[in-house]
Every structure is written in C-alpha cells, then in structure tokens.
A and B are shown apart, each in its own frame.
Chain A
Amino acid sequence: MVNNKFLSKSTWQQILPKIVLSPSLIVVFAFVYGFIIYTGYLSASNSKMMPSYDWIGFVNYSKLFALRHWKIAITNLAVFGTLYIGICMILGLTLAILLDQKIRFEGVIRPIYLYPMALSFIVTGTAWKWFLDPGIGLETIIQTWGFEDFSFRWIKDRDMAIYCVVIAAVWQTSGFVMAMFLAGLRGIDDEILKAARIDGAPAFKLYTKIVIPILKPIFLSAFVVLAHMAIKSYDLVVALTNGGPGRATELPATFMYSYTFTRNQMGIGASSAIIMLMTIAAIIVPYLYAELRERKSD
C-alpha cells in the first residue's frame, strides 16, 4: 500500500543522502568553484583597487612574468619547495625507521616529534624568529658560553634567509611525515622480513630492497601533502621574516596577498593566484587520477 502512494523505501534510501548532502555541495560549489571562476575572470580584467569587469585578456599574466618581484617569489618557491619536501621525507623516514626498532619509551618519543604539528605556523614562525635572531637567539647564547667567534646570522642575510624558512618548516612537519612512514612500516607483513632475514639479507639491503619499495604509496601521499603545503605557505613567512630582508623571502602566496589587497593591483594578484592554483592542480590532479583508477581496478 505504501508502495503505491509514496516512493518506495529503497528509492528514499537512495535519495535521502543526496538531499542531506546537497546544501554543503551547493556551498562548496559557490564558495570554492564559484570563486575560482571569479578569480579567473578578475585575472583577465583591469581590476585595480576594487573588482572591475573590463576584459583585457592576458595582459596581467605577461605583466606578472615581467615582474622581478614575481621571479624572486617563484625562485624562492623552487628552493623552498625542493628542500622542504626533500628534507622532510629523508628526516621523516629516518626517524620512522629508528623508532620502528622496537625501542623502549616509543610511546613517549613519538608524540615529542609529532607535537610541532599541533602548533600553528604563526607560532612556529615567531618562535624561530627569536631563536634565529643574532641579537637575542642562538648566536648570543653560544657566544655567552664562551665561543665568541660563533656567528649564525642567516636570517639577516638576504642570500641565506630562505633557508631559515626551510629550517622552521622542516621542524614543524617532519614529525608528521614520520608518523605517516611509521604507519606504513607497521603495515608491512613481518613474515616477509623474517623470510628475507633467513635468506641472509643484511639489514641495510632489507630496507633498500624490500621496505622502501613497499612504502612507495606513502612517499606519494607525503609528497602531495608537503607539496601543497609548500605552495600555499604564507603565515610562516609572514611571522618569520615578513618577506625580508628586503624582499628576499617573498613567496607566491605573500606576493598574491600584497598585490591583491595592499598594492591596488588586483588583476595581477588574481593572475598570480591562478598560476598557484594551476601549480597545485598539476600535482594533485595526476595523483587523484591515479588513486581513482586504482580503486576502480580493485
């Protein structure tokens, strides 16, 4: 009887989740994809202080790539991104392998490495700013210990300051990468390792030939997480160096903010945002594609 009057129970069950999800779906479409399209439009308009809708094509992009400031920002991103991802991976993997040796107090040590992740980048940046400052930080302390020739003033040196950003960022995230690798290591079947040991494989080869190849998906996930963090990093630089000395540690994200909101060049700011989006998409889309294809073939 019910079946005749209303939709059948199974149809309800199919529709209900869609109804429940639709508000958030609409919100996501409007505020994420809607604004991506809006930014894309602005990047091809002559917007200065307020958005304007006069279409000028790709002029902003050619202006953008002629700017010395933007070249500094993307060079910095290349240096920062490579070192940040590389060092985090190596450090994270090493820590994970060492922690995986069934040591005592693992439960105490693991959170110690992981805790920096709980801080915001603003806190990390401010703390490292003080720690690296030659006047009050590391340099002064070591000098008061008696090593008067000790000098460490990277943060004041325009050629080295970007490495200070790398140090602070690595400190923050390598524990998290360690946790990812540790989970991967715990997932490896002990039987394989036992078999390899019985065959007389030395410990080093055990890792290079068996463990690390098995961890390949973890490497990929870690890379995707770290790469998008590197491209969007903004708060760390603002707190640590505020783009200085001079403009030496400017990154695309800080560039985008300053051009859009403080320099009254919204068109150029929007075009830099689109370039950043495309960079992230170039990393994420192949990853998602591979993931989805794998799931289908499962």
Chain B
Amino acid sequence: MKKMIAALSMTAMMGSAHAIASEVEVLHWWTSGGEAAALNVLKEDLQGKGVSWQDMPVAGGGGENAMTVLRARVSANNAPTAAQMLGFDIQDWGAQGAAANLNDVAAAEGWDAVVPAALQAFSKHDGKWVAAPVNVHSTNWVWANKKIFDELNLSVPSNFEEMAAAMDKMKAAGYTPLAHGGQAWQEATIFDSVVLATGGVDFYKKALIDLDASALSGATMVKVFDRMATLRSNVDENFSGRDWNLASAMVIEGKAGMQIMGDWAKGEFLNAGQKPGEDFLCFRFQAIQGAVTFFSDQFVIFKIGAYRQAAQGELAKAIMAPSFQSAFNVVKGSVPARTDVPNDDFDACGKKGMKDLADANSSGKLLGSLAHGHAAPASVKNAMYDVITAHFNGEFSSAEAAEELANAVAAAQ
C-alpha cells in the first residue's frame, strides 16, 4: 500500500513537473487530417523556439464539445494556456474575466495596424487584446462544377434571378442544381448569403447584427425566406442530415451543379485532385460586389501562473507571424487574419479570397457571419437557427417565418 502511495505521488510530481515554464497547452477542435496538418505548422514553429506543445484536441466540428471541456477546466481553476474559439464566445470569456491581457505583445508587434477592424472587435475585450486571430473564413461562396456549367452554357450568375434560371436549366438537364446537407448550420450558412444578397450590407447589419425587430419581420425578410424556399426546391430529396463534405462530393462527382458553402469546401475539391478554374469554379453568392461575410478562428489566451506567461507570449507572437499565417492558411483553405501577408503561396481562389477581404475591410463591407457566431451571441444565433431550419423543412410560410424570426430573437435576448 505504501509503495502504491509513493508511486502515485511520484507520478503526481512528474505531472506537475510537466507544466514547466516553456510549455503551452492548447485546446482546439482541429482534428481532421488537413486541419491537424495545418496546426502542425504552429507546433513545429514553437518547438524551434524551445517551447514545447501540449496538445489538447477535443473533436467535434464547430467546437461545441471543446467549449464544454473548456468550461469544466476553467470552473476547476485549471485553464489551458490558450483555447480555440469563435466570435461572441471570446467576448463572453472576456466578460468572465478569465482571459489574459495581450496588449504588450500587440503593441510590440503592431497588431492594431494589420488586423481588420471587424476582427479586432472580437479579439479585443474592453480595449484589451485577449485573443490572437489565426485565420479568416468567409462563408458567402458558391462552389460549382465547371463541366456542368460548360455543358449547359451557363455563366457565373450575377444576381439571384440569374442563379434561379441557371438552377432551372440544371434541373431540366437532370442534375441536382444545389448540393446541400440538411443541418441547421448549413441552412444558416445559406441564409447569411441570401440576406446579404437580398437586402444589402445595411440590411444585413440592421437585421442580423443590430437585431432590429422591424427589419427581422419586414418585407425584405419575407423576400429572403421566399428565396430560401426557391433554393429548397432545388435540393435533392435525400438531403436531410447529410454532412457538408458529402454535399461537396456531389458537386465533385458531377451529380450536382453547385454548393453554397464557406471556403473550407475548397479543401474537398483540392483533395479530389480538382483544379480551381479548370474543374471547379468559385464565386461569391451575391449581387452586391465586395461584401464578405466572415468568421475567424482565434486563440484566446487565458490567465495563468506568471511563470508560464513567457511561453504564452511566444505562442501569441508565433500565431500572428506572417510566415505562419501564410503557411497555415494555404493548408487550411482560409485566408490570413492580417492584411499584409504576401499571397504568393495561395491558389486562384485563395488569392481572390485575400483580395476580397482586403477590399471589404477598406470599404467597410466586412460583416460577421450569423451562421458561425460572428453576428449575434450564441443564444440568439441558435434561436435563428431554429426558425431558419424549420422554414427550410417546410414548417412555415415565408411570412410566418419572418414573424417567428423576430419573436424568437426577442425571446432569446
């Protein structure tokens, strides 16, 4: 028995010895092949600087499980060095007072000048940098099969009517016009694009970011839901519950014409050996040029013991280094979170994404994505999910859906 206690206390001591000064423990949900490879870039970069990496992956896209683990860790007063996080969650943790202040690192590295203002709104809480943004994903993309477009003599649609006409042609030719997976977040991703294309930048801000009740239930929103219904009628019968990458596969295999999905879908096309511009097309879903709906993965830095803070600063610096931002985002399919990164290593879609981001940033048309938690807090976001997905599954008429949307948002606030 005594031996056992001795052995236990030995391991306990070794465990605590693990948490040495030059170590970072990072909680994240990037567990799929491409994502893990992208994160490995950061890991090796830090190891080169003598900072060891304690990986803490929690699988589950969107990070729901990771957030549950994080809550338990912080409640137990055992916060990780840094945790991957999206949008309003960062602000919530900032408000809890659990996040560390990165202002010194930010000032030394000049983050204020290079990070788009719309991102800074999430990375800073109360004027203090609490998170380092890794990437910017944008959600208003359409991925199309070029062979089908050539065969039916279609050009890239510049407004919704053209898009509807193109879908009619595809349907007539026996293709599924729109590849889609019936999960609430995927429907909300389409909703982002449709709101932006139908109402424009100001309407998007008013309805989805300011949550104005008259905009949420007004005539424009009814029109948005009408368009959602049009898109719904161009989806195959077996769509519900399908994962997004299976929907991408339908476009890759030439069964479906288009998919409305964020830029991470590009990875699926590239992995299938397809080339942008030759085998598949990428274009923005919108009539309004230059507007981008985005979300950004960030690493929130937590308050931890003083002896580990040096390694923490190294981590934040490494995340924001232009070389890492380029290497990581080439692999991940997103674009860098700072606007001064050279675009040499990116492909055609990536270069377009970077240019769109910079333009949208300078013209003030960079908008947080509702579907991915960058327009409204989680409770409101999910309340909207409920209505969007119910309408997409035929539970409401468009007018009812708009009314219900305003009610649901009011109830969730």
Residues of A within 8 A of B (CB): 48-51, 63, 66-69, 129, 133-135, 153, 155-156, 158, 241-242, 244-248, 258, 261-265
Contact = CB atoms under 8 A, between A and B. Distances in A.
A134 B184 CA distance: 20
Contact of B411 (A67, A158, A241): A67
Contact of A241 (B237, B241, B378, B394): B241
Given A66-B411, A158-B395, A247 B389 contact: yes
Interface in B380-411: 382, 386, 389-390, 392-395, 404, 408, 411
A104 B68 CA distance: 53
Contacts of A135: 238
Nearest to A133: B238
Contacts of B240: 155-156, 244-245
B218 interface: no
Contacts of A247: 184, 386, 389-390
B290 interface: no
Contacts of A158: 393-395
23 contacts: A48-B379, A49-B71, A49-B96, A49-B378, A50-B96, A51-B75, A66-B411, A68-B404, A69-B386, A135-B238, A242-B183, A242-B241, A244-B184, A244-B393, A245-B182, A245-B393, A246-B393, A246-B395, A248-B393, A261-B64, A263-B378, A264-B377, A264-B378
Residue with the highest number of chain B CB atoms closer than 10 Å, among A129, A244, A246, A248: A246
Given A63-B411, A153-B237, A265-B379, 20 more contacts: A48-B379, A49-B89, A49-B96, A51-B75, A69-B386, A129-B241, A134-B238, A135-B238, A155-B240, A158-B393, A158-B394, A244-B393, A245-B182, A245-B393, A246-B184, A247-B389, A261-B67, A261-B68, A262-B67, A262-B378
Nearest to A242: B241
Contacts of A51: 75
Interface string B194-238: 000000000000000000000000000000000000000000011
Size range of the chain B interface in the assembly: 20 to 34
B92 interface: yes
B92 A264 contact: yes
Nearest to B404: A68
Contacts of A67: 411
A166 B376 CA distance: 36
A244 B184 CA distance: 9
B386 A68 contact: yes
Nearest to B392: A246
B346 to A, nearest CB: 33
A165 to B, nearest CB: 13
Contacts of B184: 244, 246-247
Contacts of B67: 261-262
A244 B71 contact: no
A241 B183 CA distance: 10
A246 B389 contact: yes
A266 to B, nearest CB: 10
A244 B241 contact: yes
A133 B242 CA distance: 11
A48 B413 CA distance: 11
A263 to B, nearest CB: 5
Contacts of B392: 246
Interface in B83-122: 89, 92, 96
A265 B381 CA distance: 12
Given A244-B183, A248-B393, A263 B386 contact: no
A66 to B, nearest CB: 7
Contacts of A265: 379, 412
B70 to A, nearest CB: 10
B76 to A, nearest CB: 12
A68 B407 CA distance: 10
Please list the 3 inter-chain residue pairs (A to B) with the smallest Cβ-Cβ separation, ordered nearest first.
A246-B393, A245-B240, A264-B378
B377 to A, nearest CB: 7
Contacts of B412: 265
B394 to A, nearest CB: 7
A134 B236 CA distance: 12
A133 B89 CA distance: 36
B190 to A, nearest CB: 14
Nearest to B408: A68
A261 B408 CA distance: 19
A155 B393 CA distance: 13
B83 to A, nearest CB: 14
Interface string B174-193: 00000000111000000000
B78 to A, nearest CB: 15
Contact of A49 (B92, B237, B241): B92
Interface string B33-67: 00000000000000000000000000000001001
Contacts of B379: 48, 263-265
B75 A50 contact: yes
A235 to B, nearest CB: 15
B238 A156 contact: yes
Contacts of A68: 386, 404, 408
Residue with the highest number of chain B CB atoms closer than 10 Å, among A153, A241, A262: A262
B237 A134 contact: yes
A262 B64 contact: yes
B71 A50 contact: yes
B339 to A, nearest CB: 31
B243 to A, nearest CB: 11
